[in-house]
Chains A and B, each alone.
Chain A
């Protein structure tokens, strides 16, 4: 499938393998014999494709990209240094601000790292509540990505439909923790509030909560709605011709460059931390990890869409488990404010890839060193191999498949 498309660009395969773009090759493609000296084009920091403040410098030979140089750092605020002056509790809302599209995962990761350093195990119910919260965030992050891909393609309907569906998950977020984006929900030793305490002013029966009921209804609705959006993309030849066979990287390149998450699973890397290095109770939940081998933009798109279906599958199972544990099960432990001296690290499957926190504690109530590994920071550093040999018009689509989020990239 991809091989047919790639032949549309003469010598694209050779360029992807590192061959120099000659004037003859460019002339064969453009049909022009004009002088085709290379030219650096600066896209950003405020550019419709960039979805945040960053700059992509591309070197174009005619219409073909031969080199790329991403420039980040516009949002660098020294997060890792700032937190060294703050107590562990005060870092929780700061961790929210690392990624505005999926804030829950970073707060979750921070709390999980502290719990590991303290050597405590959170209650069963908390683990399932955190999984539900994470998956809601994964869904809204992926839907925001799908919406932005729609505008990158110039298809406004995809944008509108995706954001419409995202609102349902936003509403669930608001009911769970009172905020749309910066949720401030996980706590060291648990979560802020129980899922059974939500909507107290409305009649809840003894065993079930209206929130859990509505969560399942949301899942039922979303599974149908997502098929409609997917139909809008998959039946559209414009989408397909711009995704199939563009931005190809191989599995080996991808692993070596450190690309993780849906982008890596789109090249055939069969790895998901939720399954292969499970945290919380992901090992108690049944779900599939979508893996596609073709390594082009379409593969990355398909992996994300399939992940959204798996999210609802996970949420449904967790709702059952939370209901079985019941209202009386504990959801939060009391924890000391000081963490004993030592070092620990945790990894977590963020919607965008693999995030990691490394905590070096010195026995006080604030960290000595807290390192954040952002998946996008590494993914965007691989811009050159992703873009080499593609056309300038394909740059926004290929970069959109990375799902940029500058808050976590620059930290």
Chain B
């Protein structure tokens, strides 16, 4: 892989957008581009393939974060949001992938074997939201106690109102 560092150009976002849409037509929709940011909505079936593609072909080496987001009872779904950054070919560009998961099926394939840095983010997302990352090497509680019985960041878990 060519790891030549390039300086930022305005055309990069459109270039990445067209590459992603051509490769994953129908399963991926680019919802917007901003300076150094490409935002996309992704079907959960292709997440692993997509991550391998952006890492190996587009040289996105660094997974900034993997996070959960509970959209509440009205929508009956959660989201997993990935932020991925480039150090070389598209230096400074960040990809944001949003994956919808319905309450009935809170499962998604792990990407911790694509980026080692995603490992703890996925553990954290599981323990706080109950989203299961299939084939994760060690899906155990990290921040909360081992015998904790709740997924505290879900909207159904109510905190006391602020004083």
Contact = CB atoms under 8 A, between A and B. Distances in A.
B62 A255 contact: yes
Nearest to A253: B116
A381 B115 contact: no
A258 B142 contact: no
A258 B116 contact: yes
Given A270-B87, A354-B64, A410-B143, A78 B152 contact: yes
Interface string B122-156: 00100000000000000001111100000011000
A269 B59 CA distance: 13
A291 to B, nearest CB: 11
Instruction: Summarize A's interface: helix, strand, loop or mixed.
Output: mixed
A333 B87 CA distance: 35
A82 B116 contact: no
Contacts of A377: 120, 124
A257 interface: yes
* B8, B36, B116, B159 — most chain A CB neighbours (10 Å): B116
Interface in B62-121: 62-65, 67, 69-70, 81, 83, 85, 87, 91-92, 94, 96, 115-121
Overall SS of chain B's interface: loop
Most chain-B Cβ atoms within 10 A of its Cβ — which of A81, A360, A378?
Answer: A378
Nearest to B116: A257
A146 B121 CA distance: 29
A371 B80 CA distance: 12
B142 A260 contact: no
Contacts of B159: 78, 81-82, 84-85
Interface in A253-307: 253, 255-260, 269-271, 273, 276-277
Contacts of B142: 72-73
B5 A270 contact: yes
B162 interface: yes
Interface residues of B, number: 39
Counting contact residues on chain A (CB < 8 A from B), the size range is: 35 or more
> For A255, A257, A277, which residue has the most chain B Cβ atoms within 10 angstroms?
A255
B83 A345 contact: yes
B94 A256 contact: no
A90 interface: yes
A258 B94 CA distance: 14
Contacts of A23: none
Contact of A276 (B91, B143, B161): B91
A354 B91 CA distance: 15
A258 B153 contact: no
A318 to B, nearest CB: 22
Contacts of B61: 252, 255-256
B162 A373 contact: no
A373 B64 contact: yes
A171 interface: no
Contacts of B64: 258, 347, 354, 356, 373
A117 B61 CA distance: 27
Contact of A347 (B8, B67, B94): B94
Contacts of A85: 159-162
Given A76-B143, A411-B143, 14 more contacts: A78-B152, A78-B159, A80-B153, A81-B153, A84-B159, A256-B115, A256-B117, A257-B115, A258-B62, A270-B87, A271-B92, A277-B92, A354-B64, A369-B69
14 contacts: A72-B142, A78-B159, A80-B153, A85-B161, A86-B162, A253-B116, A257-B115, A258-B63, A269-B87, A277-B36, A277-B94, A371-B67, A377-B120, A381-B119
User: Which are the 7 A-B pairs with shortest beta-carbon distances?
Assistant: A258-B117, A255-B61, A73-B143, A276-B92, A76-B143, A381-B120, A277-B92
